[in-house]
A and B are shown apart, each in its own frame.
Chain A
Amino acid sequence: MLEETVEAARQVPDPAARPSGSTAIDVRGLWKIFGPRADRVLNGPDIHLDPNALLEKTGCTAAVRDVTFEVRAGEMFVVMGLSGSGKSTLVRCLTRLIEPTAGKIHIAGEDVCSASPAALRELRRHRVSMVFQHFGLLPHRRVVDNVAYGLEIQRVPKAERHRRAEEILSLVGLAGHAQSYPDQLSGGMQQRVGLARALAVDPQVMLFDEPFSALDPLIRRDMQAEVVRLHRDVGKTMVFITHDLSEALKLGQRIAIMRDGAVVQLGTPEELVAAPADDYVADFVRDVAKSEVLSLRWICRTPAENEHLDGPVMNAETIIKDAVPAVLGSARPIRVVEGGSLVGVVDRLDILAAMAARPERPRPGSRSRS
């Protein structure tokens, strides 16, 4: 009976089905094909060719292939893929900075694809803003005017937009730099300006296009923490593009992995690491320290007959690494519970095995103890 419970615990419920907020972005069957006569290619038989063959035959590149996903309000959604996988194109399609070839996009219920130029401008002005990899700051403007740019476009009076810009600048930790020019700031600070500019218009959705990949590793870590903090404090829906898996795992509540324009897997960090959908994803997550991503749920096992079931109790959601002190402090195996009922046990050897980060997936049930 317990066996079944363990299996059931591993079946993480479908995140989209979780009743946690309304849909902020809804993308259905999105295609973007670059090249001559994209429409004809889309509806023709060549579309299923692999990218090289498609380019050879039609001169077209399918940058985004039939992508469907939903982002819930307030969620941090990460799109991850290598360069050329179409992730940057995808995020630009969301506000039609790049015109999609086919598909439906709804942002807060509004149909983006059929929006008139004026409606689209309104959407970009008030609801969705974007942070860019190379910052895209205007070198001829002071920091405060860069941050206020979006408001200036909306014809907000100068005093009002400067007041707002100063506010946002202190929010991102740049108070006192308002009168500098962008080239007087370091890369990390410049990207804070980019972040502030996107925040200043008080959007519902923020899009990040690889915002930190041009930064030094240490600064990148600071900025990631900054984004996590902002996400917690301002509670905006965020779509974050990155090619860095550790960044994706650190930030993402859910992650979509893209390859050749298509989404190959969409799930929580845990799901991706524990149950990669195919070899491509498996290859990606091979080097991830599993003990830092996976929870006890993925390594707990049915207790052996002679095992004592009076050890410490821990929640199934607990990250493996965080269970180390508890398992060290007690000779008994940890009892893993979810929703008040026992789903399995974990002892020192289980934890050690998980932390040794062996390349294959941990398969608790089939593992025999010698």
Chain B
Amino acid sequence: MTAQATVSPAVPPAPPPAVRRRPRERLPRFVLPVVGVAVAAGLYLVFRGTATLPHDDGAAPFLFLNDVRDWVDDNRNENPLFLYLINYLRLGIGGLFDAVSAGLHALPWPALIALTAAAGWLAGGRRVALVAGLGFASFGVLGVFAASVDTLALTLTAVLLSLLVGLPLGVWAGRSRRVRRLITPALDVMQIMPTFAYLGPMVLFFQIGPASATVATMIYSIPPAIRITALAVEQVSPTAIEASVSLGATRWQTLRKVHLPMARRTITLAVNQTIMMALSMVVIAALIAAPGLGSDIIRGLSRANVGVMLPAGLAIVFMGIALDRLVMATAAPRSPRRSRYGAAGVLAAAGIGLSFVLPAEYPESWEWRIGPPVDDAVRWMQSAWYDVTEAIKNIATEGLLNPLQNLLTSSPWWLVALAVLVLAWRVSGAVPAFTALGCLLAVALLGLWEHSMETLTTVLVAVVLTLLAGLALGVAAARHPRYAALQRPLLDAAQTMPAFIYLLPALALFGTTRFTAVFASVVYAVPPVVRLVEDGIKGVPQTVVEAALSSGSTTRQLLWKVQFPMARRAILLAANQGIVMTLAMVVVGGLVGAGGLGFDVVSGFSQSSDFGMGFAAGAATVLLGIMLDRITQGAERRPSPQQQKMRIA
């Protein structure tokens, strides 16, 4: 490389005259940020410890929310809003869940497994049948068959309702730009809301139980249904639509014969995403008394007992894989369906036949109790690797978490607010900056400043680690196709798994500490970041890369001078995604010792007197999410400095 450099002496010696002509020297780019940091540091040193907002369990907003809850409980059967609308909704949704659940429970277990396998055969042939059948059979083997059927019923109910609302809305949004513009902000908010935040209002309006769990799950799973459907319909080739219209098709004919068939594959993806989102939410909904596997998982998490939650966790993962394969198989173009009816029919009949022979309940002797051996393994791991895990945990806690948390909680609130305002303004512009500031102030008014700062600390540390790991892995994958091929299936698997699954290994390794949440969120958020970075770098046009290489760039120069700048949008989007996902995970991490807002939310459901605090904490997580999103999302929307210069020129 050095040889190359010496061989090329023809480097132009003088800078081009255009640069010289500039009369005023501009300040170097790093001056402003450095001055800003210095000013903030000075202010911090002077005002440290003043104007802090320490936590108080009896803060006024909490008490007020408790009163609201009491009022709602007292008037649930008198107030017309409840009497004529919400109660009926609750009854209707609850009834639907009961019906689905009763239907699934009425099937003997061999019949349910065989019918699923038959559906798999019908959709995609032998392999899909095998995956679907084995996936459902695993519920029995893991000893959680009944709970799995409950979870399945809840998921199906929520998915059914989500699709019923989401698909038509998606099609509408795909065909009308106005509708799209109208619903996009709502979807944005729904998607950056950490899952815990829905639960409080659900309990308030729908009480605890399957109905509120279904609605909470719907809120979580409906955005992809709408968004992906809209995208699918929007992307239908305009020429095909024009051709249809030019032949005199009515709107309805074009919709039915062109839009929907051409968007079918992507719409299937929307259905699939909806199911996956619902599956990860039904677990969290166990906090508000959703039946099924979630309660085992929540119990295991809160007791730091991996053996209790692992069977349930695995059952959910297998259910996810089975449903994923089943649904995606239906998206395959023009499969020879007819030949499969026979095999599927035989499978279904065999299952139903078997259910008369086999015992009605899944026999216990066929179960494989993995709890005790897993507990042993975890105990062994914890003692054997104690030194390593302790060291990692302590370095992260002492080196990163504690100093940052001290800094944030001992700073005056106005200094933090000022820092957020300046940062957001610099990165994203004025409007997002004031939105972010407003969110932060609202958090303070909710009485949750200190806990929010604790959560923010965890999020920041996790985000930094996520981005470092994500960039490294993404660049590696973009550069080495063989490594990318190795990594891709892992990323695929990681992205279809429900969020809380990541708490399992974290819990097993690190017990209940703040670092557990950090570790889990890094593992959770890295895959999408890696993928976005990889795609962004690979998306740089080949001709540009060739041009850079042919002018003698080293790989490093190529990366820093060509690929990173051109993949800027993708990388910023990755950062944004990483932050939102990390926040969601850190909040859930409240269950395993992360403290902060997540813990407040959980205790709000377990202790009646903490309801107000839990409710407020849920709202605070939303506000934090919006704040972080606004700070970073603007960077992606704003044109790069180069573009700005070009526009002025």
Contact = CB atoms under 8 A, between A and B. Distances in A.
Contact of A153 (B240, B242, B253, B261): B253
Interface in B290-336: 333-334
B446 interface: no
Contacts of B247: 124-125, 129-130, 149-150, 153, 197, 201
Nearest to B264: A140
Given A132-B243, A133-B239, A197-B243, A138 B248 contact: no
Contacts of A121: 248-250
B243 A140 contact: no
A275 interface: no
Given A138-B240, A149-B257, A153-B253, A129 B246 contact: yes
A77 interface: no
B383 interface: no
A249 interface: no
Interface in A127-171: 128-130, 132-141, 149-150, 152-154
B179 interface: no
Which of A92, A124, A194 has most B Cβ within 10 Å? A124
B190 interface: no
A117 B250 CA distance: 9
B246 A123 contact: no
Contacts of B246: 95, 97, 124, 128-130
A197 B239 CA distance: 14
Interface string A94-130: 0101000000000000000000000011111110111
Interface string B226-250: 0000000000010111111111111
A97 B242 contact: yes
A140 B264 CA distance: 10
A137 B257 contact: no
A122 B253 CA distance: 14
Contacts of B242: 92, 97, 130, 132, 136
- Chain A interface residue count: which class? 20 to 34
B262 interface: yes
Nearest to A127: B248
Given A134-B239, A137-B240, A154 B248 contact: yes
B240 A123 contact: no
A181 interface: yes
B253 A139 contact: no
Nearest to A135: B239
B248 A136 contact: no
Given A136-B237, A138-B258, A140-B333, A130 B243 contact: yes
A92 B242 CA distance: 10
Contacts of B249: 121, 153
Contact of A139 (B241, B250, B257, B262): B262
B331 to A, nearest CB: 12
Contacts of A141: 261
Nearest to B237: A136
A133 B237 CA distance: 12
B239 A132 contact: yes
A139 B236 CA distance: 11
**Residue among B243, B245, B249, B250 with the most chain A CB within 10 A?**
B243
A61 to B, nearest CB: 19
Residue from B239, B253, B258, B261 having most chain A Cβ neighbours under 10 A: B239
Chain B interface main SS type = helix
A194 B248 CA distance: 16
A97 B239 contact: no
Given A134-B237, A139-B262, A149 B248 contact: no
A165 B264 CA distance: 26
Nearest to B245: A97
B334 A181 contact: yes
Interface in A229-256: none
A119 B262 CA distance: 28
B178 to A, nearest CB: 15
Interface string B95-112: 000000000000000000
A302 B253 CA distance: 66
Contact of A136 (B240, B250, B257): B240
Contacts of B239: 132-136
A346 B243 CA distance: 50
A208 to B, nearest CB: 12
Contacts of A197: 243, 247
A124 B248 contact: yes
Interface in A27-81: none
B57 to A, nearest CB: 57
Contacts of A120: 248
A198 to B, nearest CB: 8
A128 B247 CA distance: 8
A136 B333 CA distance: 18
Contacts of A138: 240, 244, 257-258, 261-262
A153 B244 CA distance: 9
Contacts of B243: 130, 132, 136-137, 149, 194, 197
A124 B333 contact: no
- Residue from A122, A128, A153 having most chain B Cβ neighbours under 10 A: A153
B581 to A, nearest CB: 35
Contacts of A124: 245-248
A158 to B, nearest CB: 14
A233 B239 CA distance: 28
Interface string A199-219: 001000000000000000000
Given A132-B239, A134-B239, A140-B264, A125 B248 contact: yes
Nearest to A149: B247
Contacts of A139: 262
Contacts of A149: 243-244, 247, 257
Contacts of A128: 246
A78 B245 CA distance: 23
Contacts of A132: 239, 242-243
A149 to B, nearest CB: 6
Contacts of B237: 134, 136
A115 B53 CA distance: 71
Nearest to A145: B257
A98 to B, nearest CB: 10
A126 B246 CA distance: 11
B334 A150 contact: no
A130 B245 CA distance: 10
Contacts of A194: 243
B262 A140 contact: yes
A254 B262 CA distance: 39
Report which residue of B243, B247, B261 has the largest number of chain A beta carbons within 10 angstroms of its beta carbon: B247
A171 to B, nearest CB: 18
Interface string A167-211: 000000000000001000000000000100100010000000000
Given A136-B242, A136-B243, A123 B248 contact: yes
A126 B247 CA distance: 8
B247 to A, nearest CB: 4
A153 B243 CA distance: 12
A129 B247 CA distance: 6
Contacts of A92: 242
Nearest to B251: A117
Nearest to B250: A121
B334 A152 contact: no
A152 B242 CA distance: 16
A140 B246 CA distance: 19
Among all A-B residue pairs, the 6 with the closest Cβ atoms: A125-B248, A136-B243, A136-B239, A124-B248, A150-B247, A130-B246
Interface of A: 92, 95, 97, 120-126, 128-130, 132-141, 149-150, 152-154, 181, 194, 197, 201
9 contacts: A97-B245, A121-B249, A121-B250, A126-B248, A137-B243, A138-B244, A149-B244, A194-B243, A201-B247
Given A124-B246, A129-B247, 18 more contacts: A121-B250, A122-B248, A123-B248, A124-B247, A130-B242, A130-B243, A132-B242, A134-B239, A136-B239, A136-B242, A137-B240, A138-B257, A138-B261, A141-B261, A153-B247, A153-B253, A194-B243, A201-B247
